[in-house]
Amino acid sequence: MIKLIPQVKFIEIKDGLLANKSLNISNLNCDSRLIDALSLFDKSTDGTTVSIEIIDLNKEEYELTITADSIIIKAGDSAGAFYAIQTLKQIFKEEHVPCLHIADKPDFEYRGFYHDVSRGKIPTVETIKNLIDNLAYYKNNSLQLYVEHTFELEEYKDIIEHTGYLTKQEIREIDAYCKSNFIDFIPSLATFGHLYELLQQDKYKHLRIFKDFVPYSNFWYGRMIHHTVSPLVNEGFELVKSMIDQYSSNFESDIFNICCDETFDLKKLDNGKNDIATMHIDFVSKLIKHVNSLGKTAMLWADPLLLKHPEVIKKIPKDTYFLSWGYDETPDAEPIREFGKMGVKQIVCPGTSSWARLCENVNVEEKNITNMISLGRENNAIGVLNTNWGDWGNPCSIELAMYGMVLGAAKSWDASTEINDEFIDAVNFILYENENGYQLLKEVSALHEKVNWFHFCNNYFEYRYDSHTYYNRSAFENLNAIQREYFSIREMLEKAQWKNDEFRQELLISAEGVCVMAELTAKILGEQIVRITDTNE
């Protein structure tokens, strides 16, 4: 059985094998991006002839036929032909390529991935390009980077040398690379809440709601829950407009995500006269109007506050995209159903469950992604935006969020995809290139359950700033078990041979990191560490 991710809608294996896995693409006359994609295959003038024809099929739909001496691609558009080539790439991983016919199309028109570059590591352009290659390979068609302050905006010019940032040139380079891979690179910028680095600056403090904020000893917690710009001060709106203008000019996309979620500090304006939901809606509506004036369609997180005023939502331009999010194993279905009833353009947003961890939480992400996409199908969502957040320092490497990315891509293309032995075999073969990759990921993910990153950070901050008011002891109490499991996992990983070795290395680092967290917890508590160095001790 041919291993494919996403699985295809129809495949018929025929008699015979492809005679020559090198390709002859010399006579192709089509979108140059398709020729570039085929150029990554082995090529020769006497190789298998490839033909591409755009016919009367739906957008992104394609047919792929392989005979003994030809490869025929027919598609509804160039994007569909590009996805046929991605399928062909995966087929060519097989030792022998059978003659076959495939007919395929996506279940969702929007299939995106969302990566946080604001609350921890800022990836290099090379890393982002590698991510784009992977997104295209699994037939995603959209990418967003979550940006608060990590771009060279004028408002951050005094601090970004310290915090790090992506330049205009880098964003434009990423934008062009996305376009070459049929991916819409959508600008996403915090414009209401989550403006810590903006509103902590002396020159902008007067624009925040919580003017008397005093930094917490636990930096990550204080950063997360405060710093909403006041909707009652026009200067704040003008500031945000400037940021939107500067950022949007670097993207070809006709969409702009204004975010506008988790405006926790609005409750501080509730004096019995102000209605929080109305203030939220009014400010968001002004931002949407401005984005529309730039010739772009607005996108925003479907904050629960919006549901309190469905009559106002109806006044928001109908082409606005609403991002319905939920990250629990069993996410709340009610908001998705309510937005579905309103008939708005809804995109469901599950997550990789990698945030505040050194490794994605496999058990949670599998259920979450499955349930969110099912809710999307049931409530007429137009797409899926799979999120990879970076809360509390983004300690997880991007490699250890890729199973969640692949699962989300697979189900975004074919919502009926099941997480069964066949799917896991395909993940091991295509993603990890090791027959035990998924199982070892699960081993490290389970080990991480014994040490909570939130607890570890809280313990550290309590110790670092001499608060000593509360320590969580769970990691120390599990210390010996964690050490034994770590050495067992390390032994398995050190013996393993992976073609895609970066995954193996990241799993090793993650497992060791969990063990170190437990040992540091013991040290913070003043406990004596009994260091176990062998699985037999």
pTM listed for this prediction: 0.96
pLDDT of residue 216: 86
CB 353, CB 368: distance < 8 Å: yes
Residue 82 above 90 pLDDT?
yes
pLDDT of residue 536: 47
Instruction: Provide the CATH number for the domain around residue 94.
Output: 3.30.379.10
Q: What is the spatial distance between Cα 285 and Cα 62, in angstroms, rounded to a whole number?
A: 39
Residue 444 above 60 pLDDT?
yes
Q: Say if residue 82 is in the same domain as residue 189.
A: no
Task: Phi first, then psi: give them for residue 237, nearest 5 degrees.
Answer: -65, -45
Q: Say if residue 509 is in the same domain as residue 493.
A: yes
Which residues are CB-neighbours of 82 under 8 A, at least 6 positions away? 31, 33, 34, 37, 136, 181, 182
Q: Say if residue 457 is in the same domain as residue 327.
A: no
Q: What is the spatial distance between Cα 510 and Cα 401, in angstroms, rounded to a whole number?
A: 12
CB 110, CB 141: distance < 8 Å: yes
430: in domain: no
CB 196, CB 148: distance < 8 Å: yes
Distance from CA of residue 196 to its chain's centroid? Answer: 22
Q: Got the DSSP string for 261-283?
A: ---GGGGGG-SSS--HHHHHHHH
% of residues, the chain, pLDDT over 90: 85
Q: What is the spatial distance between Cα 266 and Cα 210, in angstroms, rounded to a whole number?
A: 9
Q: Say if residue 148 is in the same domain as residue 213.
A: yes
Average pLDDT, stretch 182-209?
Answer: 97
Number of compact structural domains in the chain: 3
Query: If you ran DSSP here, which 8-state letter would residue 528 be given?
Result: P
Residue 304 above 90 pLDDT?
no
Q: Say if residue 242 is in the same domain as residue 345.
A: yes
4: in domain: no
Q: Which of 52, 70, 104 is the last residue of a domain?
A: 104
Q: What is the spatial distance between Cα 458 and Cα 257, in angstroms, rounded to a whole number?
A: 32
Which residues are CB-neighbours of 130 under 8 A, at least 6 positions away? none
Query: Contacts by 363-366 with C-beta closer than 8 Å and gap 24+?
Result: 363/329, 363/445, 364/327, 364/328, 364/329, 365/403, 365/404, 365/407, 366/407, 366/419
532: in domain: no
Instruction: Provide the CATH number for the domain around residue 313.
Output: 3.20.20.80
The model's confidence at residue 534, banded by pLDDT at 50, 70 and 90, is: low
43: in domain: yes
Q: Say if residue 146 is in the same domain as residue 73.
A: no
SS3 169: helix
Task: Phi first, then psi: give them for residue 402, nearest 5 degrees.
Answer: -75, -25
Q: Which of 70, 104, 138 is the last residue of a domain?
A: 104
Q: What is the spatial distance between Cα 63 and Cα 12, in angstroms, rounded to a whole number?
A: 12
428: in domain: no
Q: Say if residue 94 is in the same domain as residue 224.
A: no
Q: What is the spatial distance between Cα 370 and Cα 366, in angstroms, rounded to a whole number?
A: 6
Q: Say if residue 167 is in the same domain as residue 240.
A: yes
**What's the sign of the alpha-carbon dihedral 148, 154, 158, 161?**
positive
Q: Say if residue 275 is in the same domain as residue 327.
A: yes
Point out which residues pair with 151 in neighbouring strands: 166
Q: What is the spatial distance between Cα 461 and Cα 309, in angstroms, rounded to a whole number?
A: 40
Residue ranges with strand state E in 148-210: 184-189
Average pLDDT, stretch 188-209?
Answer: 97
Two structure tokens written together for 177: 């690379």
- Put the strands of the sheet holding 23-24 in their side by side order: 10-17, 98-104, 62-66, 70-75, 48-54, 23-24
pLDDT of residue 104: 98
Q: Say if residue 95 is in the same domain as residue 126.
A: no
Distance from CA of residue 291 to its chain's centroid? Answer: 24
Q: Say if residue 261 is in the same domain as residue 381.
A: yes
% of residues, the chain, pLDDT over 70: 99
Q: What is the spatial distance between Cα 402 and Cα 423, in angstroms, rounded to a whole number?
A: 15
Domain of residue 364: give its range: 110-419
535: in domain: no
pLDDT tens digits, 229-247: 999 999 999 999 999 999 9
64: in domain: yes
pLDDT tens digits, 121-179: 899 999 999 999 999 999 999 999 999 999 999 999 999 999 999 999 999 999 999 99
pLDDT of residue 306: 82
The model's confidence at residue 63, banded by pLDDT at 50, 70 and 90, is: very high
Residue 219 above 60 pLDDT?
yes
Centre a 10 Å sphere on the Cβ of residue 257 and count the other Cβ atoms it contains. Answer: 25
Helix (H) or strand (E) holding 65: strand 62-66
Helix (H), strand (E) counts: the chain: 19, 14
Residue 290 above 90 pLDDT?
yes
- Between 70-84, 407-421, 436-450, 462-476, the lowest mean confidence (pLDDT) is in 462-476
One-letter identity of residue 309: H
The model's confidence at residue 533, banded by pLDDT at 50, 70 and 90, is: low
Q: What is the spatial distance between Cα 413 and Cα 108, in angstroms, rounded to a whole number?
A: 6
CB 266, CB 236: distance < 8 Å: no
518: in domain: yes
Q: Say if residue 386 is in the same domain as residue 366.
A: yes
Q: Which of 419, 452, 479 is the last residue of a domain?
A: 419
